[in-house]
Chain A
């Protein structure tokens, strides 16, 4: 234990920061700068910003974000499970089937209730 075990991570952090810094700095020093309106916008390609960001959003964004998290977490569980799948044997498989099954029922529920509809259907 102790700090020694984390030396590798520390070196990685330092290298990553240095790499990012050097690239940005170099392009600033060497490159030519031609600023135009399009280039200074938040998104160079995509939707043009309209008005202030501090306005009311549709609640649907939150629902979508919330549902996304659930499936995000599912992926988080699936990766380590897949890595140690062999040593878990059949028990691990059943566990994951139960977990995904419960999630599936939840998914069916939100789907049928219309939480995934973006249109006018109320939830």
Chain B
């Protein structure tokens, strides 16, 4: 047995080890520090953990593909790409939460610890090469988030959201697990590589058990990426959760589920492409159409962004359906772009929001742009980028997704995507119009800027602009990441 290979293995899960050590350190610091005010500094332990993890995972980039823990996890460019993405999302979430936690007198230790553990779960999910490992990563991430969603205990909406997310999340985990069991029954393995090999060798393509397993797996992932018809939880949960956590969920959980989806479907079940592409094709159309049309009618900014995030899952699905080198590259690029622009938008929401879930209605944004021009301009950039207006990164993301779809012959899907994108311009622009062109009904209390939040806004703004103007570096990185699928 190769148990002596301990040193090699630790390197493979290096980023996770750093995250877990930081999280444990946070817990110890939380019980040592008695003073409530000093405890606010705990966020910096979390940020240090994320930075350390970033350094470790950046050093893994470009290395040879290495498997660890008997082939359960792998370090390749694909996993490193997603590791970096999750760490950026986690770090920005921590910074965004700093004032949020302080103002609402939430217990900081647990909040930051759980955020780190959730990030760790995402990272694990991105580098799993075994269905059991994917499930484990998903659970680590979900369990942490169930608690975080209901973190504001006095809030009815928060408790409702937490319970809803827990029940539906547990249900979707059941689907996923059943799918794993059926795939194991059909192919005799939970290893992704062995599943792919078994299908090719035994000629299992039309096997009902295999197809049923694949369908259940798709359902499980569909829940996590909020694909229609498994999206019903998203608006309520996104509205009730603390705003920084909503931002984290809308980018992190989605990206983690897409990473696993790509690894399973594009990586090990390409032979079944005809079947799952058909399903995702329809799923993609339904997801973006429903997301965009329903977002038009929202008056609460968090609900609007929730439907917008459903719609974006639909665009990303176009890329997954298109597949091939261009399609998968576009998916990765889009996820990166979406992470930064959406977290930026949520940072603005967090800045404007006040205690007890106040100032979350669209009407509350009236006059914000004239009072705080910088904040208004930042929000305008994020909204234009989400709408896909050039030269911002959201446009480039959509451009690559749509051109990949055209190249692979999905013309109908592209047309529906472009039409949807047009519809979405209305509700994104409405926010900007509200901020700059409408006078507030009552005098507004000014927004208080916290340094941590300003840092998040600057980072998000910089990358939203830079990735749109100079996309080639990021595209190159994305292309390097998907080499394993080709």
Number of interface residues of A (CB under 8 A): 12
**A108–B28 touching, CB < 8 Å:** yes
Bound form: Cα–Cα A112–B24 in Å:
14
The answer to whether the Cβ of A102 comes within 8 Å of any Cβ in the partner chain is: yes
The answer to whether the Cβ of B27 comes within 8 Å of any Cβ in the partner chain is: yes
What total of A-B pairs shows CB separation below 8 Å?
21
Which chain A residue lies CB-closest to B17?
A: A98
**A105–B3 touching, CB < 8 Å:** no
Q: Which of A88, A102, A109 contacts B31 (CB under 8 A)? A: A109
**A102–B3 touching, CB < 8 Å:** no
Q: Which of B6, B24, B31 contacts A91 (CB under 8 A)? A: B6
**A113–B31 touching, CB < 8 Å:** yes
**A105–B6 touching, CB < 8 Å:** no
Minimum Cβ distance to chain A for residue B27 (Å): 5
Q: Which of A91, A109, A112, A113 contacts B4 (CB under 8 A)? A: A91
**B3–A112 touching, CB < 8 Å:** no
Q: Which of A88, A89, A92, A106 contacts B27 (CB under 8 A)? A: A106
- Encode A86-110 as 1/0 by CB contact (under 8 A) with B: 0011011010000000100110110
Bound form: Cα–Cα A58–B14 in Å:
42
Chain A residues with CB under 8 Å of B4's CB are 91
**A89–B3 touching, CB < 8 Å:** yes
Minimum Cβ distance to chain B for residue A83 (Å): 16
Q: Which of A88, A94, A105 contacts B24 (CB under 8 A)? A: A105
The answer to whether the Cβ of B30 comes within 8 Å of any Cβ in the partner chain is: yes
Minimum Cβ distance to chain B for residue A45 (Å): 39
Bound form: Cα–Cα A112–B28 in Å:
10
Bound form: Cα–Cα A109–B27 in Å:
7
Chain B residues with CB under 8 Å of A112's CB are 31
- Encode B1-38 as 1/0 by CB contact (under 8 A) with A: 00110100000000000001000100110110000000
Chain B residues with CB under 8 Å of A113's CB are 31
Per DSSP, are chain A's interface residues mostly helix, strand or loop, or mixed?
A: helix
Q: Which of A91, A92, A109 contacts B30 (CB under 8 A)? A: A109
**B3–A92 touching, CB < 8 Å:** yes
Chain B residues with CB under 8 Å of A106's CB are 27
Bound form: Cα–Cα A89–B28 in Å:
30
Chain B residues with CB under 8 Å of A108's CB are 28, 31
Bound form: Cα–Cα A92–B1 in Å:
12
Chain A residues with CB under 8 Å of B24's CB are 102, 105
Minimum Cβ distance to chain B for residue A30 (Å): 49
**B30–A88 touching, CB < 8 Å:** no
Chain A residues with CB under 8 Å of B6's CB are 91, 94
Q: Which of B6, B20, B27 has the most CB of A within 10 A?
A: B27
Interface members, chain A 7-55 (any B CB < 8 Å): none
Minimum Cβ distance to chain A for residue B17 (Å): 10
Bound form: Cα–Cα A92–B24 in Å:
22
Minimum Cβ distance to chain A for residue B10 (Å): 11
Minimum Cβ distance to chain B for residue A8 (Å): 25
Chain A residues with CB under 8 Å of B28's CB are 105, 108-109
Which chain B residue lies CB-closest to A102?
A: B24
Minimum Cβ distance to chain A for residue B112 (Å): 13
Bound form: Cα–Cα A106–B110 in Å:
11
Which chain A residue lies CB-closest to B25?
A: A105
Chain A residues with CB under 8 Å of B31's CB are 108-109, 112-113
Bound form: Cα–Cα A91–B10 in Å:
12
Minimum Cβ distance to chain B for residue A117 (Å): 14
Chain A residues with CB under 8 Å of B27's CB are 105-106, 109
Minimum Cβ distance to chain B for residue A22 (Å): 38
Chain A residues with CB under 8 Å of B30's CB are 109
Which positions in B face A, CB cutoff 8 Å?
A: 3-4, 6, 20, 24, 27-28, 30-31
Which positions in A face B, CB cutoff 8 Å?
A: 88-89, 91-92, 94, 102, 105-106, 108-109, 112-113
Q: Can you list 16 A-B pairs, Cβ within 8 angstroms, ordered by A?
A: A89-B3, A91-B4, A92-B3, A102-B20, A102-B24, A105-B24, A105-B27, A105-B28, A106-B27, A108-B28, A108-B31, A109-B27, A109-B30, A109-B31, A112-B31, A113-B31
Q: Which 5 pairs between the two chains have the least Cβ-Cβ distance?
A: A112-B31, A109-B27, A91-B3, A105-B24, A91-B6
Beyond A106-B27, A109-B31, list 13 extra A-B contacts (CB 8 Å): A89-B3, A91-B3, A91-B4, A92-B3, A94-B6, A102-B20, A102-B24, A105-B24, A105-B27, A109-B27, A109-B28, A109-B30, A113-B31
